[in-house]
Amino acid sequence: MKPLMLQGHERSITQIKYNRDGDLLFSASKDQKPNVWYSLNGERLGTYNGHNGAVWCVDVDWTSTKLITGSGDMTTKLWDVQHGVPLASIKTASSVRTCNFSYSGNQAAYSTDRAMGQNCEIFIIDVRTVDASLSHQDSTLRIPVLQSKVTAMQWGTLDETIITGHENGQITLWDLRTGKEINAVNDHTSQINDMQLSKDGTMFVTASKDTTAKLFDSDSLMCLKTYKTERPVNSASVSPILDHVVLGGGQDAMEVTTTSARAGKFDSLFFHLIYEEEFARLKGHFGPINSLCFHPDGRSYATGGEDGFVRVQAFDNSYFEYVFE
């Protein structure tokens, strides 16, 4: 089927996310304006105007009422999804690299870059009631990260833990009651670009610059599977209905201008979750894929690229009929 091309961003896409129902698709971009789209037809509902810098991350809570974004303008903002107005803006000491709502949507976490003499830090905030006063309130928990900076983050399933991926490839599990590290693994050798939970949250898939993606257990951080490619992986997602994983990546953004699209390998790669075998490739973007995710119903997936486009690709029947023996 022909993919939907969502053209609305002027610069490269940094992160895309579906809401829980899958009817909305949120996209964050370096052009400062996160967008929201109807995932069914690719129509743009609106934009969230207010940031003054590249927006690095976006997340929507499970009720699709609140949106959180983190930006290079050294703020993280909470938005009313429906009306597109900012509810709160929290000043930070450096760029906000990751942000996520917890399972319950009562809490949110965001992390800042180690830059301008500031350490990388993880903040946990209470977002049960969001208004302008949030910007003055202290965060419920503040964890300074002294080693390598946080480049990807996910909440554990029960609001008790968070998992962070770091620039040096380390993955750390934090206990939020104590603010202490529970476990850390070093299966990856280079920066973790993305982490996404499986549908039930018991596993997550990482995407790393070391050209591999790996599947981990969310509690023990045990590495279950490894998916090998030839290029840095920027994003990876687990299918909610089939034993499939999709990977996207390509050249480093810096090197993109010097490589032709044919050399860059900007395809989405489909792997079997268990057998670790690549079984399909899909072309599309003119640059690396920066973020991708499966639709919650598993019948389509969306990619956001360095080329500024978001593509929504619905699967043909042959995709569902294809069976690994």
Partner 1 sequence: MAKKKSEEYGGDCEADGEYGEEPNFEDPEGFVDDVTDEELLADVLKQKPCETDGVENVVVVDNIPKVGPARQEKLKSVVEKLFANFGKIVNVYYPLDEEETTKGYAFLEYKNSAQAEEAVKALNNHRLDKSHTFAVNLFTDFQKYENIPEKWEPPTQQPYKVQEDLYNFLTEPDAYDQYCVAAETGQNSVQVQFWQNTIPEPTDLETRERFTDTFVKWSPLGTYIVTFHKPGVAIWGGTSYNKINKFPHPGTQFVDFSPGENYLVTYGPTQTGQKIIIWDIRSGQEKRSFVSDNMSSMSMFRWSHDDKYVARMCENSIQVYETPGFYLLDMKSIKIPGIRSFSWSPTDNIIAYWVAEETDVPAKVTLMEIPKKREIRNKNLFNVADCKIHWQKSGDYLCVKVDRFSKSKKDKKDADVKFLGMFYNFEIFHMREKDIPVDSVELKELILAFAWEPVGTKFGIIHGDPSNANVSFYEVKKGQKPSLVKKLEKKLCTHMFWSPRGQFVVLGNLTMGTLEFVDTNNDFVVMTTADHFRASDVEWDPTGRYVVTGVSSWKVKEDTGYNMYSFQGRLLRRTMLKNFVQFLWRPRPPSLLSEAQQKEIKKNLKKYYPQFESKDRMRMTRASKELLEKRAQLRAQFMEYRNKRIAEWTEQKSRRLQLRNHVDTDNLDTEDVDEEIVEFLVKEDVTVLE
Strand ranges (DSSP E) for 179-309? 180-185, 192-197, 203-208, 212-217, 223-228, 233-238, 244-249, 268-272, 278-282, 289-294, 300-305
Which residues are registered as beta bridge partners of 142? 123
Q: Measure the CA–CA gap between 193 and 208, rounded to whole angstroms.
A: 5
By CB under 8 A, name the binding residues for partner 1.
Answer: 20-23, 62, 103-106, 157-159, 200-203, 217, 224, 230, 262-263, 274-275, 296-297, 324-325
Closer to partner 1 at the Cβ: 105 or 305? 105
250 close to 288: Cβ distance less than 8 angstroms: yes
Rounded to a whole number of angstroms, the minimum distance from the CB of residue 254 to partner 1 is 15
Structure-block tokens of residue 312: 């929504």
- Nearest approach in angstroms of CB 215 to partner 1 is 10
> Cβ closer to partner 1: 157 or 190?
157
Compute the least distance from the CB of residue 165 to partner 1, in Å: 21
Cβ proximity to partner 1, 145 vs 256, nearer residue: 256
Nearer to partner 1 among residue 95 and residue 251 (C-beta): 251
Q: Toward partner 1, which CB reaches closer, 230 or 321?
A: 230
Burial class (CB in 10 A: 0-12, 13-18, 19+), 176: buried
- Number of neighbouring beta carbons within 10 Å of residue 116: 9
In angstroms, give the least distance from the CB of 151 to partner 1: 24
Of 252, 233, 244, 229, nearest to 306 (Cα)?
252
Q: Least Å distance between CB 293 and partner 1?
A: 15
Q: Considering the complex, what minimum distance in angstroms separates the CB of residue 231 from partner 1? A: 9
Nearer residue to partner 1 within complex by CB, 52 or 106: 106
